[in-house]
Structure 1
Amino acid sequence: MVSTTTGPTPQAGQRRLGALSGSSVALVHEWFGATGGSEQVFRNIAGLVPHAERFVLWKDRGVEEPGLRESWLARTPVRHSKALALPLMPMTWRTLTRQRFDVVISSSHAFAHTVKLGPPETTRYLSYVHAPARYLWSPAFDGRGSSPLLALPRRALQAVDVRFSRHVHSYAANSREVQGRIRHYWRRDAVVINPPVDVAFFSSAPAADRAQPRDYLLGVGRWIPYKKFDLIIAIAEAAGLPVVIAGSGPEEVDLRRLAERADVPVTIEVRPSRERLRQLYWGARALLFPVHEDFGIIPVEAQACGTPVIGISRGGLLETVVDGETGFLVDATDPRDFAALTARVGELHQDRIGANAARFSEAAFAAAFSGWVADVVG
């Protein structure tokens, strides 16, 4: 496994963001869950601007994240239903606080980019976009907004989304995929800054983890419909290999039923620790990722462990996986097409896979993010 310590250090990024030390800064994020990729990005941004005030709509129950200031929505019943809260989000971001700031940086995958905490003549607004809200703009990717009954409300919220974000001075997208959507939906340009991945942690596994036989397939993520864990199990059946499904989510009961009926052993791991997840990556023959993602941090974590990715040739995987070198990409939905590639992972070199993951390190993110902020604020 190659070293992931080369390149710019996080400390260098923090020094560059030191230009904000004399400015009042607000960092805003949507709702704050326990283990999501967007939350990981927000933590990294906060680490670069430690003096900033941090705002979220609400924290999910059981989340321990000190220093977050919740909006008034957190004191209402709608905090338990994102669908009911959605129409209220734009106005919530406009009534978040009476404080005014010199710089506002949003971490947005719904309406956080519409936040306004001072006039744009005196406040600089930067928005790091994980994706324009999928259920609003691209319901074909995410079924939560695909009902015909939601067509009119969706169009109304799209208009609000565009109108309430005209004050943003600069956008950054987490991938070329999202950059294209920002251009298409919002008619705005964006720089591409890939999310930070803790490749140093995942690559530096104990010797016992590295020595595992790599004898199963692996699926990792939130158990919701568009993540296609049912397809992952079907791929394992077609390949005749055991599969481990790691994560959590509302589809757990359905996944357990599929596991019981499967023709191959299916192991369900609920909310594995980071150490256990690293162990699972190192023991896997391949990570199965047959989903159209905006970027996808999980495939990079797997590659940091030398584990190849077998996924769909769309979205973020086109940027994170080198087809034929660090994994295999296929434009198909037939489990047999994916399963056929599991026999070819022996052609790939573990060191090359790990080296590819190093491109997405936290240090690389710190340098790119700091440069973007300096250009816009400076």
Structure 2
Amino acid sequence: MSTTAGQTPPVGQQGGLPALADSSVALVHEWFGVTGGSEKVFRHIADLVPHAERFVLWKDSGVEEPQLRESWLARTPLRHSKAAALPLMPMTWRTLTRQRFDVVISSSHAFAHTVKLGPPETTRHLSYVHAPARYIWSPAFDGRGSSPLLALPRRALQAVDVRFSRHVHSYAANSREVQARIRHYWRRDAVVVNPPVDVDYFSSAPAADQAQPRDYLLGVGRWIPYKRFDLIIEIAEAAGLPVVIAGSGPEEANLRRLAERVRVPVTVEVMPSMERLRQLYWGARALLFPVHEDFGIIPVEAQACGTPVIGINRGGLLETVVDGETGFLIDSTTPDRFAALTARLGELHTDRIRANAATFSAATFAAKFSAWVTDAVA
């Protein structure tokens, strides 16, 4: 199996991939949330294959996404509990529909890559992987599935994950980090196709936004424990700088309590709009990102606004941040060590930061994704 995407073919005039123009295609995603990086990627994939049927396990409440066909799980209470539904997901993908397709492309961070909509002799199964399911393969990242009581179920699901995905003809990984995990866990090769980021939108802010004084530190993302927003607040306190945390999640109450105890101003922005998020990026002195992510779209969005990133020297940041040029990467998660780097932000140049972000554009994704698919179906 090839591990390089080859030469870039032209994308069709109507937004479709020429290699799939005469094929019946199914696009498959896990559950579809209101917001999320994997959902954004799936939308870009769907734009490239507009004639494809689109399948998900279920849509979360509030999702207004047309043309998504839900599985039978959507008609059960399990749609409200990903943890409870997890053991049933592989079998759900195998009983999704009686339809058969020439090409199946899955967008997977759990078990979507196990979907089988035709025999491998006549159906090409391709899978774009955001990450092998963390809760069964690497629960230490965020704690889900890490209980010793779950050790046996986790091993059982690992065996199912490998056995039910043998029919996949080709994998693409969203980063070198995920490529390495695919090789380690599944013993399979993968092409690296970084996710698309709307760098044009973030870089083209109104003049008033671009003229902001950049007088605070910023944290953006879901407020869950492994994202370490508590550490972001502690870093700001150690640096003696105001901080804005933007996002939403179950840790909101805990973060608000911590914000009341620290000695620097903490502003909490709940579910900011895209426009407001762009304003926040442009007004920030730096984005703090002390978390090990598979790729991380948020650091690229920040850099598109000329905002440097201070993060840990692991995971996707090794691909998206140029240490000493577009931000700083550090091996420690000690607040004082992070805070010390805020004094060096003047060494970085906005033009260089924005140029780095431009390499992760939607157009770049479309070209690399198209090349991978064309090679894989040839």
Is residue 116 from structure 1 mapped to residue 110 from structure 2 by the alignment?
no
In the alignment, is the contact (CA less than 8 A) between 1:310 and 1:341 conserved in 2? yes
- Counterpart residue identity of residue 26, structure 1: A
- Counterpart residue identity of residue 239, structure 1: A
Q: Percent identity?
A: 86
In the alignment, is the contact (CA less than 8 A) between 2:16 and 2:49 conserved in 1? no
- Distance in 1 (CA, whole Å) between partners of 2:295 and 2:32 is 19
- Any idea what SS the aligned residue of 2:140 has? coil
In the alignment, is the contact (CA less than 8 A) between 1:140 and 1:146 conserved in 2? yes
- Distance in 1 (CA, whole Å) between partners of 2:28 and 2:259 is 39
- Counterpart residue identity of residue 294, structure 1: D
- Any idea what SS the aligned residue of 1:217 has? strand
Q: Displacement of 1:15 after TM fit?
A: 6.0
Q: Displacement of 1:16 after TM fit?
A: 7.0
TM (norm. structure 2) is 0.96
Structure 1 unaligned spans of 5+: 1-7
Q: Look up the match of 1:265.
A: 265
What are the within-5 Å matches in structure 2 for residues 67-106 of structure 1?
Answer: 67-106=67-106
In the alignment, is the contact (CA less than 8 A) between 2:12 and 2:18 conserved in 1? no
Q: Look up the match of 2:159.
A: 159
Is residue 293 from structure 1 mapped to residue 293 from structure 2 by the alignment?
yes
Q: Displacement of 1:35 after TM fit?
A: 1.4
In the alignment, is the contact (CA less than 8 A) between 2:32 and 2:59 conserved in 1? yes
- Distance in 2 (CA, whole Å) between partners of 1:18 and 1:247 is 39
- Distance in 1 (CA, whole Å) between partners of 2:207 and 2:17 is 37
1:13–1:324 Cα change, 3 Å: farther
1:10–1:82 Cα change, 3 Å: farther
In the alignment, is the contact (CA less than 8 A) between 1:182 and 1:188 conserved in 2? yes
- Distance in 2 (CA, whole Å) between partners of 1:289 and 1:314 is 11
- Distance in 2 (CA, whole Å) between partners of 1:339 and 1:14 is 49
- Distance in 1 (CA, whole Å) between partners of 2:135 and 2:235 is 27
In the alignment, is the contact (CA less than 8 A) between 1:55 and 1:70 conserved in 2? yes
Is residue 150 from structure 1 mapped to residue 150 from structure 2 by the alignment?
yes
1:316–1:239 Cα change, 3 Å: same
Q: Look up the match of 2:4.
A: none
Q: Look up the match of 1:343.
A: 343
Aligned residue pairs total 371
- Any idea what SS the aligned residue of 1:268 has? strand
Q: Displacement of 1:346 after TM fit?
A: 1.0
- Distance in 1 (CA, whole Å) between partners of 2:238 and 2:287 is 15
Q: Displacement of 1:260 after TM fit?
A: 1.4
In the alignment, is the contact (CA less than 8 A) between 1:12 and 1:367 conserved in 2? no
Q: Look up the match of 2:241.
A: 241
In the alignment, is the contact (CA less than 8 A) between 1:13 and 1:48 conserved in 2? no
- Distance in 2 (CA, whole Å) between partners of 1:130 and 1:63 is 21
- Counterpart residue identity of residue 126, structure 1: L
1:73–1:116 Cα change, 3 Å: same
In the alignment, is the contact (CA less than 8 A) between 1:16 and 1:370 conserved in 2? no
Q: Look up the match of 2:5.
A: none
TM (norm. structure 1) is 0.96
What are the within-5 Å matches in structure 2 for residues 228-377 of structure 1?
Answer: 228-377=228-377
In the alignment, is the contact (CA less than 8 A) between 2:232 and 2:288 conserved in 1? yes
- Counterpart residue identity of residue 375, structure 2: D
Structure 2 unaligned spans of 5+: 1-7
1:239–1:367 Cα change, 3 Å: same
1:3-51, Cα deviation, whole Å (9 max, x unpaired): xxxxx99956976712212111000000111110000000000000001
Q: Look up the match of 2:185.
A: 185
- Counterpart residue identity of residue 64, structure 2: E
1:10–1:205 Cα change, 3 Å: farther
- Counterpart residue identity of residue 236, structure 1: A
- Distance in 2 (CA, whole Å) between partners of 1:156 and 1:12 is 43
